[in-house]
Amino acid sequence: MLIIPAIDLKDGCVVRFVQGAKNKKVYSCDPAKAARHWIKQGASLLHVIDLDGAFTGKPQNIEALKNIIAESPVPVQFGGGVRDITQIKSLLAIGICRVILGTRAIMDREFLKKALKQFKDRIIVSVDAKGDTILTKGWKSSYSGMDVYAFVDELKKLGLKELIYTDTTKDGTLKGPNLKMIKSLLKNSGLKIIASGGISSLEDIRKLKHLEKQGLTGIITGKALYEGKFTLAEALKVAK
């Protein structure tokens, strides 16, 4: 099971929010340095999100992203405002291993089908939810077309093998992950899942580790690492 450090970018800096929009805290204005730090501690994958892109609908922190890629010998997955095929091509061309799709994939199924057909496993969809309601546009809007379970079922029918699930009410709160929902999605979908939101302690990681056989392939963690609740090296040891 992977432990994946999150690098959230806003205005070129590494930040963390609570529940996506509250209480911004800046941890570094050198994203490449943050990437080097996590790699030195043992990261085998980095999760980079362009928050400005998520809010505006177009990636805004490309230079910071390029700097991260230049410093990173490990794969980098990236999302935040990626809403057309040309953007996907450009991101893959600069060295991104996997592009994370959210809003456009949820609201435009034909786009998602085209992206999956053209780029296959270099696409992963992020399902960001509040309860069983999917959130879009930087978590500012609710999607009324279908609930989380129906959408995940559709992703499975389209051939997606793995997704990212984030409980937006847990994100940045350090109050623990939504174990009930993660278990339910694993059971009902049969898909591989990377879980995000609320990780606060090594005990949370131990609890999630028990779900590995059910298909939990990774945990994305940000604030707990930046706040020193545990080190990445400690988390990796628990995950193994």
Query: And the tokens for 206?
Result: 């131990």
Catalytic entry in 8, 50, 52, 204: 8
Q: What is the CA radius of gyration of the chain?
A: 16
Note if 8 is an active site residue: yes
Specify the 3-state DSSP secondary structure of 82.
coil
Query: Is residue 162 within 8 Å of residue 217, measured between CB atoms?
Result: yes
Max CA separation in the chain (angstroms): 43
Distance CA 52, CA 132 (A): 25
How many distinct helices (H) and strands (E) make up the chain?
11, 12
Note if 52 is an active site residue: no
Catalytic entry in 11, 50, 52, 128: 128
Which residues are identified as catalytic? 8, 128
